[in-house]
């Protein structure tokens, strides 16, 4: 299912010449269509992948898995300015889904842990009262346990907690904007993540993912958009530098390491 099927940049005043308006990507952006349920933003560091993804999250008002919503997060202030000039085109509007940057995950896990601690403290305070006074605390603690496991997100490895988050928070019919979700995942766990993608696509979800992972990029029938020199162009998997360089290195690492 494709919910967000395009974004279009509206003209912005000439005086908006600082970041992110000065990026070649932003200057040259016109209409960007999304043609598959899974779209990958691919390119070297500094090409604007994350900036555009963050701006899209602001433009659609995405729910954030982090410590602050996109509407108030100070690290997204410049992206919110760009979002004002992005027109979103919907094939069908959805309010389900979320936006996640890998670097925000620790803050989110800490927030969940703090919530658990507050609920336990509240439960202890009413422990001598009627059972009905305890029910709201027990209910919320039980919901967190069912969603994130008995150990909580901060009681698991980084990769395991990432996967637990995806497994618990992916719901059918959602739009998911993910920035480098492979960061904490081993190659095996990345394959597990691909299985999650397949299952969610079968349940009418849409994903737009900025990534450097050749494993994720191999997802069948995905739209791959390559960011380079301010341009965004469709690309084939086997033509990507991420793929060819990784393949060549694994086939002959000595050739790359002999000059170290």
What CA–CA distance (Å, rounded) separates 50 from 70? Answer: 14
The residue with greater pLDDT, 125 or 217, is 217
Helix-strand-coil split of the chain, %, nearest 5? 45, 20, 35
Which 3 state secondary structure label does DSSP give 106?
Answer: helix
- C-alpha distances in angstroms, 143 versus 119, 130, 138? 12, 21, 9
Residue 64 has pLDDT above 70, yes or no: yes
Q: What is the pLDDT of residues 117-173, one digit of tens each?
A: 554 555 456 566 555 555 555 555 555 555 655 555 455 555 577 788 888 888 999
Confidence of residue 115 (pLDDT cuts 50, 70, 90): low
Query: What percent of the chain has a predicted confidence (pLDDT) above 90?
Result: 52
What is the per-residue pLDDT for 205? 97
What is the per-residue pLDDT for 192? 92
Segment 236-255 shows an average pLDDT of 90
What is the per-residue pLDDT for 240? 94
Residue 3 has pLDDT above 90, yes or no: yes
Domains of the chain: 4-257 (3.40.50)
The residue with greater pLDDT, 16 or 198, is 198
Residue 94 has pLDDT above 80, yes or no: yes
Tell me the average pLDDT of the chain.
Answer: 83
96 membership: H or E segment, kind and range = none
What is the per-residue pLDDT for 172? 94
Q: With 0.75 as the threshold, say if the pTM is over it.
A: yes
Residue 66 has pLDDT above 60, yes or no: yes
Q: What is the pLDDT of residues 186-205, one digit of tens each?
A: 899 899 999 999 999 999 99
Count of all residues that appear for the chain in the document: 260
Closest to 5 measured CA to CA, from 28, 30, 36: 36
Confidence of residue 53 (pLDDT cuts 50, 70, 90): very high
Segment 5-24 shows an average pLDDT of 87
Q: What is the pLDDT of residues 32-48, one digit of tens each?
A: 999 999 999 999 988 99
What is the per-residue pLDDT for 147? 60
What is the per-residue pLDDT for 124? 58
């Amino acid at each position: 299912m494709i919910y967000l099927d395009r974004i279009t940049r509206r003209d912005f005043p000439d005086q908006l010449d600082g970041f992110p308006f000065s990026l070649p990507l932003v200057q040259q952006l016109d209409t960007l269509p999304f043609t598959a349920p899974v779209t990958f933003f691919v390119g070297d560091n500094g090409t604007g992948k994350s900036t555009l993804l963050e701006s899209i999250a602001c433009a659609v008002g995405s729910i954030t898995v982090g410590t602050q919503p996109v509407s108030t997060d100070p690290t997204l202030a410049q992206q919110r300015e760009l979002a004002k000039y992005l027109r979103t085109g919907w094939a069908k509007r959805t309010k389900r889904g979320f936006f996640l940057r890998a670097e925000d995950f620790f803050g989110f896990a800490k927030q969940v842990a703090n919530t658990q601690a507050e609920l336990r403290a509240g439960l202890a305070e009413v422990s001598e009262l009627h059972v009905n006074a305890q029910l709201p605390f027990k209910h919320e603690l039980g919901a967190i346990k069912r969603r994130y496991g008995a150990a909580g997100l901060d009681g698991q490895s980084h990769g395991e907690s990432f996967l637990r988050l995806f497994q618990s928070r992916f719901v059918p019919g959602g739009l998911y904007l993910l920035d480098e979700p492979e960061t904490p995942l081993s190659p095996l766990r990345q394959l597990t993540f691909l299985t999650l993608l397949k299952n969610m696509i079968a349940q009418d979800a849409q994903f737009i993912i900025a990534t450097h992972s050749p494993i994720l990029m191999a997802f069948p029938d995905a739209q791959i958009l390559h960011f380079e020199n301010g341009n965004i162009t469709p690309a084939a998997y086997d033509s990507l530098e991420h793929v060819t360089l990784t393949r060549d290195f694994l086939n002959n690492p000595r050739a790359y390491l002999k000059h170290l």
